Chain A
Amino acid sequence: MSEVELTRERVEDALFRAGYWLLFGIVMLPIVVVFATSFQQGEYLTFPPEGVSLRWYAQFFASAEWLSAVRDSVVIGVGAAVLSTALGVTGSLAVQRSDSTLARVLPPVILLPLLLPPVVIGLTLLIYFNRVGFGSTYLTIVIAHALWATPLVFFVMQSVFARFDWDLRDAGMDLGARPSRVFYHVVLPNVRSGVVISAVVAFIVSLQEFIMALFLKSYEVQTVPVLAWTSLQSSLTPLVSVVSAFLVGVSILGVLVSAALMNIEWLAEQL
């Protein structure tokens, strides 16, 4: 290889590195700002922060209002994850290896809720649930969030099932297992990581969602982003950074826990 080519390769290499560090920086910047400002000492949200303290964290964890919002968010997140995973996994399973009309129509239809502005969905659901007299705020927000999370679960599972060896299903049925037992004994163990990842994605989507949750909130039940918005309207204190840091933290924790669960399973298989 000539000198010129070597130099050129080095330059290209450096540009490439610069490219992905820039991308990394852009992605990380908001998180860094949020975490940095959450340790702010003063009364107002400024960047760079002045002084370091945990006073806003203390205030957050001492506030009954915030803690109840955290509880609501987690309950709704888990509910939305369970509902959308159940719907998305079974829906995707149903259209596998089928050439029926329903199997062809379902994938594009299931995408529709993602194409509608959340403002429209939120408002529509609010009117609808009021009219039918649907009481539970938990359930209405869970359903709203499942509308968004189910298509995501569905498409994650579509790609997971695309890599599944369907001869295994046939072998299971051939050996006398009814479809439900084939699913439990043969299909599920092979796609478990996909299902866990889908559930985590659904949980995080629900945790972060704001607009539908704002429309559907009640006095008793409101999620963390909704409370953050209402408290922001009165004052811009570093408390909102603490809340954001908390949401990011919970999301990361969710990913770590699911990774750990899968690793434990993997570890158990090795022993």
Chain B
Amino acid sequence: MASVTLSGLRKEYGDLTAVDGLSLDVDDGELLCLLGPSGCGKSTTLRMLGGLETPTDGDVHIGGEPVTDQPPYERNTSMVFQSWALFPHKTVLENVAFGLKMDGVSEDERRERAREMLDVVEMGGFEDHDPTDLSGGQKQRVALARSLAIEPDVLLLDEPLSNLDKRLREQMQLELRNIHDAVETTFVHVTHDQNEAFTLADSIAIMNDGQIEQVGAPREVYDDPVSLFIEEFLGDTNLIEATVTETTETGVVADVALGTAVELPTGDASVAVGDDLTVSFRPEELDVERADAAADGSPSITGEITDVLYRGSTVRFYVESAGEYLFFEQSVGADSDFAVGDAVTVSWDPADLLAFAADGDRVGGGGA
């Protein structure tokens, strides 16, 4: 168990900057998900944490100790690789016992401890199997056992679930959560899958372009994204262009491309008349009724349903207004059954809208 501190971490490969001045704190025993799109530098960051890459600049501290210049075999971190990287010429038991063997643990003891670890990941009985004969999920469990067997201060997980099918992945997410609770080790888990991050994490750090955009509890990050990048990355939403027409005491009024003026409670953020904004209308915050239903006074637009997409358990409806489209979703079986051509009124609470300036930064406070 140990905390992790990354400060001003940089990694350059020739002209390419993979990680660009990244600072991050992970608490002792925390499960942190490093979330970001492909190529954002999250795996490189993890490899620098494990000592498999040397930072161009910056420092890594584990448990308060500087480890920046320590090679991987001297650091008490352990990585679960995306490819699992099980030693093909060793049995499952030998794989799990490998780290202990390198530590000089006696043969009997390391076999004993490797067996226990295999039981933890529910792979008891596979001791003498060849790792190449195992399924993806089984390899994943063995890789996890191998890394946990050395009782690392920090367990590093480099998208180990990304090669599994959806059902198995979701099952492993829950198990990983349980294992984390049981071993009380600090976990740093890299993923590009926001659902996985929300399921697993105590804390999510979202990366973009080699830097951390935002760190926080999953709920906090979702409710209060600091930038348009995060808003787009965390889930499907309606992003509509708007232009500020008026500033008020509580915020601004903006002309939204949906053909209506919208009040945005942006507080006293530095926004001027004429500024361009992007406004996020999250589908789950939209109220939709037939156009002839009585209005309740909330701001709204009226439009026509143009497309209905069945997406398994949900149905997605597209509403057109002034040439822009908004979508909202309903569970299959909800009794509204809107159809193409229906006129509907879409309304919202202005407090649920999120506004972003032209540079992508969030303007003022919003939902929460």
Contact = CB atoms under 8 A, between A and B. Distances in A.
Interface in A94-137: 99
B83 A174 contact: no
Contact of B73 (A165, A173, A189, A269): A173
A178 B52 CA distance: 13
Contacts of A99: 14
A174 to B, nearest CB: 5
B89 interface: yes
B204 interface: no
A185 interface: yes
Contacts of B89: 189-190, 269
The A interface is mostly helix, strand or loop, or mixed, namely helix
B294 interface: no
Nearest to A270: B130
Contact of A185 (B73, B98, B146): B98
A190 B78 contact: no
B52 A190 contact: no
B150 interface: yes
Interface string B32-72: 00000000000000000011100000000000000000011
B223 interface: no
Nearest to B158: A167
Contacts of B103: 176
Nearest to A171: B85
Given A170-B52, A170-B72, A175 B98 contact: yes
A242 to B, nearest CB: 43
Size bracket of the A interface: 10 to 19
A177 interface: yes
Contacts of A168: 85, 87-88
Nearest to A182: B73
Contacts of A175: 73, 78, 98-99, 102, 146-147, 150
Interface in B234-266: none
B18 to A, nearest CB: 14
A177 B81 contact: no
B71 A173 contact: yes
A238 to B, nearest CB: 49
Given A170-B72, A170-B79, A176 B102 contact: yes
Contacts of A177: 73, 98, 102
A55 interface: no
Contacts of A186: 87
B88 A190 contact: yes
B265 to A, nearest CB: 49
B185 interface: no
Contacts of A170: 52, 72, 79, 81, 85
B102 A174 contact: no
A174 B98 contact: no
Contacts of B73: 173-178
B52 A174 contact: yes
Nearest to A178: B73
Interface in B67-112: 71-73, 77-79, 81, 83, 85, 87-89, 98-99, 102-103
Given A181-B102, A185-B98, A174 B87 contact: no
A172 interface: yes
Contact of B79 (A174, A176, A178, A185): A174
Interface in B125-181: 146-147, 150
5 contacts: A165-B83, A165-B85, A171-B85, A174-B72, A189-B89
Interface of A: 99, 165, 167-168, 170-178, 181, 185-186, 189-190, 269
Q: Which 4 residue pairs spanning A and B have beta carbons closest together?
A: A175-B99, A167-B85, A176-B102, A171-B85
Interface of B: 14, 50-52, 71-73, 77-79, 81, 83, 85, 87-89, 98-99, 102-103, 146-147, 150
